[in-house]
Amino acid sequence: MQRVMEHQGKTIHSIRTGIACNLDHDILAAALPLLEEELVDAVEWSFDALYQHYSIPAWFEELLHVYSKAGRLIGHGVFFSLFSGRWLPEQEAWLKDLKRLSSVYRFSHITEHFGFMTGRDFHHGAPLNIPFTENTLALGRDRLARIADACGVPVGLENLAFAYSAEEVRRHGEFLDRLVSPVNGFIILDLHNLYCQLHNFSADFNQLIRSYPLERVREIHISGGSWEDGLPDGSKKVRRDTHDDGVPDEVFSLLEQTIPLCPNLCFVIMEQLGTALKSSASRERFRADFRKMRAIIESFASKLRLTNHFTPLIPAQLGAPVEDEQLWRQQLTLSEILETAASFQEASNRLKNSSLQNSGWQIETWAPDMIETARKIAVKWKNPVT
Amino acid sequence: MKLPKSLLGAILLGVSIQVTQSSCSKDDRDLNPQPLTEQPGTENEPGSYHPDNCPACGMG
């Protein structure tokens, strides 16, 4: 259980520091000294990455159980595809698996990503944004209720790094709030994702952070990323949430500024991919980043007071899944264009002549460099080893 | 959080013999390394090795 105590009628708590930890040699090798030093309060596990039906080594299972029994195991889904317009067999299977895992492990909470997955299946797709409409709102609420029903613990959504336009960036927080409110859900505020948006859309932090429902932030992520050319002419760099480098100083600064604004914050998790942790130097940097994060968290210890435990509000009857066939067809069209267009120009031309024109997607407002970034993301997820 | 010494030792051993794999590699070539000990598999569960090698959202 979260370490809590009553104090003058209010609940005071300590924030847990943790790592995103999957069964990955490089992550575990980098994290082992931190585990030995008893610095890792919590573990976040992407439970739906178990897609190859292999069994887990007993020691990794025990690691999960130890954190589970302490109420410090977080489940972080990647592949549910919350906003797919059509209800898919993969989603049904995902929920069934979540329900089974929830009987094996005691998750402190379960989270997923905002957006929908492109690609022919859930493991060959990219998470992309969706139109902020009443239809997508109803769809997302329906899916969140199903996740809450399957796991029976607090559920949350992570803000997306990618956006097509400044208007989407401006509205993302409010839309997240409307999505999670009916299940008393929470937000994972990924500060590197926010950092991407601050740069990619020249946004102001103080303005953007206030557009999020900060009282609903139960978890914060920090990570590193990379810079890439937005367009082939190299005129603008785009920041991407690739998790393949150390945490930038700017993100640590965002963490210091954000923590006091989030009264219900319980976990701060550092994410980095194992592929970026092959050298001794990168592993040292990983540990140094973690210690820096922990020092920041400790400076705020015992200063936060919980006002919401995010106990899920689950509907008595779920009914038939909400579906939106037009949205589904548009998602297929967008995925196909992004995955197969050979260049930005081709993608742009095909979008202008597609069913997405003059629709809720508002492709007319999409920034050219972000169209190109979406194309690169879609290609990368479709062919991750190329 | 304090972890049992036996668990830390097991993790060290697991990491040392490298039966785990890197994240973010979906190439089937990476899914079949030689584990040190292999349990019997079934048609749907081909062996004891589990790669857990999905991107876990780091490809945005």
Taking a contact as any Cβ pair under 8 Å apart, which residues of chain A between 198 and 237 contact chain B?
223
Q: Does residue A279 register a pLDDT over 90?
A: yes
Q: Above 80 in pLDDT, residue B50?
A: no
pLDDT of B51 over the 50 cut:
no
* pLDDT at position A385 over 90: no
Q: Which residues of A touch B10 (CB under 8 A)?
A: 58-59, 62
Instruction: Name every residue in B having a CB less than 8 A away from some CB of A.
Output: 1-4, 7-8, 10-15, 18-27, 31, 39, 44-60
Say if the Cβ atoms of B57 and A38 lie within 8 Å.
no
Mean pLDDT, residues A222-231 = 90
The predicted pLDDT at position A124 comes to 54
- Residue A237 pairs in a beta bridge with A229
pLDDT of residue A119: 60
CA-based torsion, A116, A121, A122, A124: positive or negative: negative
Q: How confident is the model at residue A118 (pLDDT cuts 50, 70, 90)?
A: low
Contact A241 B58 (CB under 8 A): yes
Write out the two tokens for A266: 């319980």
Residue B32 is predicted with a pLDDT of 34
Cα of A196 vs its chain's centroid, Å: 13
Structure tokens at B55: 């991107």
H helix intervals, chain A: 25-36, 58-69, 89-104, 134-151, 166-180, 191-200, 205-209, 249-258, 280-299, 325-340, 344-352, 368-382
Q: Which helix or strand (DSSP H or E) is residue B9 part of?
A: helix B5-16
Residues A296-320: what's their mean pLDDT? 87
Tens of pLDDT, residue by residue over A10-41, are 555 689 999 999 888 899 999 999 999 999 99
Helices (H) and strands (E) in chain A, counts: 12, 15
| Better-scored residue on pLDDT, A229 or B45 | A229
CA distances A296 to A11, A21, A287, B43, Å, are 21, 21, 14, 49
Q: What is the pLDDT of residue A54?
A: 60
Q: What is the dihedral of CA A365, A191, A48, A275, to 10 degrees?
A: 100
Tokens read off for A96: 């069934």
Distance, CA of B51 to CA of B54 (rounded, Å): 8
- CA dist A311 and A186 (Å) reads 10
pTM of the model: 0.88
Look at residue A209 and give its three-state secondary structure. helix
Instruction: Say yes or no to pLDDT of A76 above 90.
Output: yes
Please provide the average confidence, as pLDDT, over all residues in chain B.
55
The pLDDT of A286-305, averaged and rounded, is 89
Q: What does the pLDDT read at residue A50?
A: 64
Mean pLDDT (whole number) for A341-356: 95
What are the boundaries of each domain within chain A? 4-323
CATH for A4-323 is 3.20.20.150
Mean pLDDT within A194-212: 97
pLDDT at A305 over 80: no
Which of these ranges, A107-116, A235-244, A336-345, has the smallest mean pLDDT? A235-244
**Chain B interface, mutation test: which of A52, A90, A272, A370, most B Cβ atoms within 10 Å?**
A52
In the predicted structure, residue B40 carries a pLDDT above the cut 70 = no
CB within 8 A of A360, min separation 6: which ones?
A131, A133, A135, A136
Report pLDDT for A97: 94
Beta bridge partners of A343: none
pLDDT of residue B55: 45
Contact B14 A67 (CB under 8 A): no
ipTM confidence score: 0.87
CB contacts of A160 in chain B (<8 Å) are 60
Per-residue confidence (pLDDT) for residue A1, from 0 to 100: 35
- B38 to chain A nearest CA, in Å? 11
Please indicate whether, in this complex, the C-beta atoms of B59 and A126 are within 8 angstroms of each other.
Answer: yes
**pLDDT category, B26, cuts 50, 70, 90?**
very low
Q: Any idea which of A39-43, A53-57, A104-108, A127-131 has the lowest mean pLDDT?
A: A53-57
Contact across the interface for B14 and A57, Cβ inside 8 Å = yes
Asked if the model's pLDDT at residue A167 lies above 90, the reply is: yes
> What percentage of chain A has pLDDT greater than the value 70?
91
Helix (H, G, I), strand (E, B) or coil at A322: coil
Q: What percent of chain A has pLDDT over 90?
A: 75
> Band of the pLDDT at A51, cuts 50, 70, 90?
low
Nearest C-alpha neighbor of A194 from the set A257, A245, A151: A257
Is residue A115 within 8 Å of residue A77, measured between CB atoms?
no
Residue A282 confidence (pLDDT) above 60:
yes
C-alpha neighbours within 13 Å on the C-beta side of residue A260: 6
**Among A93, A125, A122, A111, which residue's Cα sits nearest to residue A45?**
A111
- pLDDT classification of A304: cutoffs 50, 70, 90: low
Whole-number Å distance between alpha carbons of A174 and A210: 10
Q: Has residue A8 got a pLDDT over 60?
A: no
Sign of CA dihedral A144, A121, A78, B51: positive
pLDDT on residue A384: 58
Chain B residues within an 8 Å CB radius of A36: 3, 8
Specify the pLDDT at position B54: 41
Residue with the larger pLDDT of the pair A222 and A236: A222
pLDDT attached to residue A383 = 66
pLDDT, average across residues A89-110 = 95
